Chains A and B, each alone.
Chain A
Amino acid sequence: MSPTELLDLLRHDFMQRALLAALLTGLAAPGIGTFLVQRRLALLGDGIGHVAVTGVALGLLTGTSPTWTAVVVAILGAVLIEVIREQGHTNGDVALALLFYGGLAGGVLITGLAGEGAASLQVYLFGSVTSISATEVWYTAGLAVVVLTLTLGLLPQLFAVASDPEFARVAGLRVRSYNLLVAVLAAVSVTVAMRTVGLLLVSALMVVPVATSQQLARSFRSTLVAAMVLGGVAAVGGLVVSAWLSARATVAPGPSIVLLALAMFAATWPLGVWLRRRRRLAEPFPIVGDESSGDPGVPDTHRMAGHDDRAHDHEHDHEHGEACGHPAVPHGDHVDYVHDGHRHAPHGEHYDEH
């Protein structure tokens, strides 16, 4: 397909609707996903997605809108997972597994009872660009805005509860209510993402952008915002890619969105490894005090074990300094330079090994 044909395709009403839905989904899903990753519940979205399959099937069986039955069943499932997790303490993953398989099996069975084949379920499992109607885009937009407002508005509270529930309880926050809120918001964003990414891949959009932004971010807020931007880019980009490929083959948007998000992760991961390595090198060395001197804060460099006062074997072709390229690391009262796996400390005419 030539670029002009692609542009023509993107001008179609259904495509514009799909792009809007994808953008909102891409923003909302990683937003709530950040809290799930923080609480080490990265697979919660997947569990809710499986439960929502039953909701879709109920919609097909009763002839009502599958979006709404999916929302209701997903919320019920999310609350159930949260309650089982809270009561059972250690069995959070088992609770997830029970709902995973119950939801998927129930969905396929009920779809069969409704007289529909796997094809009608396929639209919800992997997403479909063309099937999104104008009203559904408005529902999607409304739900996505609710998720975004609550996630960003309650960010400090949700962060406190997710990072240390006990501290949050003593601080007077309603930990259980906030945890239920996160579960419900996750359920809503799963159903929001159902039409674009599909129920089986929705969790990827909640987790992969967070994993990507973690590589570079240092703070929670920047992780969250970067994950939302990455999610939006992946969702819109993946949709365009699938539309572009659709001339040659039937490509569901879900897989292309997820693969694009994964490609972003693959691209940033080496950068993250390098950054973490650099940060570790620049960490101050622990100050090893002489226990008997009684003052652990002051290092006595010449009595320290492992110090070697002789000059380095090979010739120094430069003076260590700000521009020498060797990582400079504060060490007590002086600065060491990391050189070929040694720590060089300037000492008169030569360098001490620290």
Chain B
Amino acid sequence: MLNTTGSPVVEARDVTVAIGGRPVLRGNDLVVREGEFVALMGANGSGKSTLVRALTGLRPLTQGTVLLFGTPLHDFRARHRLGYVPQRGTATGGVPASVREVVASGRLTRRGLLRPTSRADRAAVADALDVVGLADRAGDGVSTLSGGQQQRVLIARALAGEPELFFLDEPTAGVDLPNQQALADALHTLSGRGATVVLVAHELGPLAPLVDRAVVMRDGRIAYDGTPLSHEDVHGHHHPVDAHHDHVPHVGSPFDRLSHDHREGHR
């Protein structure tokens, strides 16, 4: 739902990020309110992933402030309220890991050090696997799953901590259509439970009906913020040229003008 009155969950003011001295984000303001489903869109290199990384604290700000749930980012300790799904390719490591283990690692935000898993922990992991439709694969190795299924595992991992705010970085990139649909179903369930979702996407695909606010980035700045746009609006030409016109029609060439001026001066 588009929510203009709810309490702000993310408040970014003047967010500026430079990577290697080169500005990637330039003075962006973004307020996301409770329960919103926001899609961050734009071309490659427009800064949408960097903005999400800045909002989660992975990318230090050069300038500006970020408040999560009203708390400045560097003081933000209630990490269990935050769920993060990184870009693809990080689900497998050098050692086999089961789907359940990867998902359970998302529960660490709510588990203390040196504590055994409680019944609530196991229930949350089982529920997260259920939401993404992988309950029957819990005991399998993550590396035996397809790319789209691995992406769903990463979403389940973020879900396991039962967060209120989700950041997803390109969850649908390189994922086939049935898996995109499964992802969309999972996000629909989440959104229905009242979670706030901030999603980076190049193309929305099956996610389109869920998005109630689109933020389009261009060259490190927010270029559009409002109801979702069609593909043509985002990628098409923004400045339609109707007719050719001369800026200074009475001038043929600089010398014409000079000689004209010269004569004028004589008059």
Asked if B97 is at the interface (CB within 8 A of a chain A CB), the reply is yes
Shortest distance from the beta carbon of A185 to any chain B beta carbon, whole Å: 16
Asked if B1 is at the interface (CB within 8 A of a chain A CB), the reply is no
Q: Does B94 contact A37, Cβ atoms closer than 8 Å?
A: yes
Q: Does A218 contact B141, Cβ atoms closer than 8 Å?
A: yes
Bound Cα distance from A38 to B95, whole angstroms: 5
Q: Does B113 contact A166, Cβ atoms closer than 8 Å?
A: no
Shortest distance from the beta carbon of A146 to any chain B beta carbon, whole Å: 14
Q: Give the interface residue-count category, chain A.
A: 35 or more
Q: Does A170 contact B181, Cβ atoms closer than 8 Å?
A: no
Q: A153-B114, A172-B79 are in contact. Are A167 and B95 (CB under 8 A)?
A: no
Bound Cα distance from A283 to B56, whole angstroms: 37
The stretch of A18-26, A155-163, A197-205, A307-315 in contact with B is A155-163
Q: Which residue of B lies closest to A284 (CB)?
A: B146
Q: Give how many A-B residue pairs fall within 8 Å (CB-CB).
A: 104
Shortest distance from the beta carbon of A174 to any chain B beta carbon, whole Å: 11
Asked if B194 is at the interface (CB within 8 A of a chain A CB), the reply is no
Q: Does A218 contact B140, Cβ atoms closer than 8 Å?
A: yes
Shortest distance from the beta carbon of A62 to any chain B beta carbon, whole Å: 38
Q: Which residue of A lies closest to B53 (CB)?
A: A166
Q: A154-B114, A156-B105, A171-B109 are in contact. Are A39 and B84 (CB under 8 A)?
A: no
Q: Secondary structure at chain A's binding surface: helix, strand, loop or mixed? A: helix
Asked if A321 is at the interface (CB within 8 A of a chain B CB), the reply is no
- Counting chain B CB atoms within 10 Å of each CB, which of A153, A157, A164, A214 scores highest? A164
Q: Does B102 contact A163, Cβ atoms closer than 8 Å?
A: yes
Asked if B101 is at the interface (CB within 8 A of a chain A CB), the reply is yes
Which of chain A's residues have a CB closer than 8 A to the CB of B157?
167
Asked if B250 is at the interface (CB within 8 A of a chain A CB), the reply is no
Q: Give the interface residue-count category, chain B.
A: 35 or more
Q: Which residue of B lies closest to A163 (CB)?
A: B93
Q: Does B86 contact A167, Cβ atoms closer than 8 Å?
A: yes
B69-87 contacts to A (CB < 8 Å)? 77, 79, 82, 84, 86
- Counting chain A CB atoms within 10 Å of each CB, which of B56, B108, B177 scores highest? B108
Q: Which residue of A lies closest to B169 (CB)?
A: A166
Which of chain A's residues have a CB closer than 8 A to the CB of B259?
none
Q: Does B109 contact A219, Cβ atoms closer than 8 Å?
A: no
Asked if A325 is at the interface (CB within 8 A of a chain B CB), the reply is no
Q: A160-B105, A167-B157 are in contact. Are A219 and B57 (CB under 8 A)?
A: no
Bound Cα distance from A210 to B94, whole angstroms: 10
Instruction: Mark contacts of A278-297 with chain B using CB atoms, 8 A cut-off: 1 yes-contact digit, 0 otherwise.
Output: 01000100110100000011
Asked if A15 is at the interface (CB within 8 A of a chain B CB), the reply is no
B82-128 contacts to A (CB < 8 Å)? 82, 84, 86, 90-91, 93-98, 100-102, 104-106, 108-109, 111, 113-114
Asked if B161 is at the interface (CB within 8 A of a chain A CB), the reply is yes
Q: Does A279 contact B104, Cβ atoms closer than 8 Å?
A: no
Which of chain A's residues have a CB closer than 8 A to the CB of B146?
286
Bound Cα distance from A34 to B94, whole angstroms: 9
Q: Does B95 contact A34, Cβ atoms closer than 8 Å?
A: yes
Q: Does B161 contact A171, Cβ atoms closer than 8 Å?
A: yes
Asked if B241 is at the interface (CB within 8 A of a chain A CB), the reply is no
Bound Cα distance from A127 to B129, whole angstroms: 48
Q: Does B95 contact A171, Cβ atoms closer than 8 Å?
A: no
Asked if B209 is at the interface (CB within 8 A of a chain A CB), the reply is no
Bound Cα distance from A39 to B90, whole angstroms: 11
Asked if A229 is at the interface (CB within 8 A of a chain B CB), the reply is no
Bound Cα distance from A220 to B108, whole angstroms: 16
Bound Cα distance from A164 to B84, whole angstroms: 11
Which of chain A's residues have a CB closer than 8 A to the CB of B56?
170
Q: A218-B140, A219-B97, A219-B101 are in contact. Are A170 and B177 (CB under 8 A)?
A: no
Shortest distance from the beta carbon of B117 to any chain A beta carbon, whole Å: 8
Which of chain A's residues have a CB closer than 8 A to the CB of B181?
296-297
A161-183 contacts to B (CB < 8 Å)? 162-164, 166-173
A193-224 contacts to B (CB < 8 Å)? 210, 214, 217-221, 223-224
Asked if B3 is at the interface (CB within 8 A of a chain A CB), the reply is no
Asked if A42 is at the interface (CB within 8 A of a chain B CB), the reply is yes
Asked if A339 is at the interface (CB within 8 A of a chain B CB), the reply is no
Q: Does B108 contact A156, Cβ atoms closer than 8 Å?
A: yes
Pick the contact of B97: A154, A159, A169 (CB < 8 A): A159
Query: Can you pick out 24 interface pairs between chain A and chain B where the beta carbons lie within 8 Å of each other?
Result: A37-B95, A38-B93, A38-B95, A156-B104, A156-B111, A157-B113, A159-B97, A159-B105, A160-B108, A163-B97, A163-B102, A164-B86, A166-B84, A167-B90, A167-B105, A169-B57, A171-B108, A217-B96, A218-B96, A220-B101, A223-B96, A289-B178, A296-B178, A296-B181
Identify the 10 closest CB pairs spanning chains A and B, nearest first: A172-B79, A219-B98, A170-B84, A160-B105, A220-B97, A38-B95, A38-B93, A37-B94, A218-B141, A163-B93
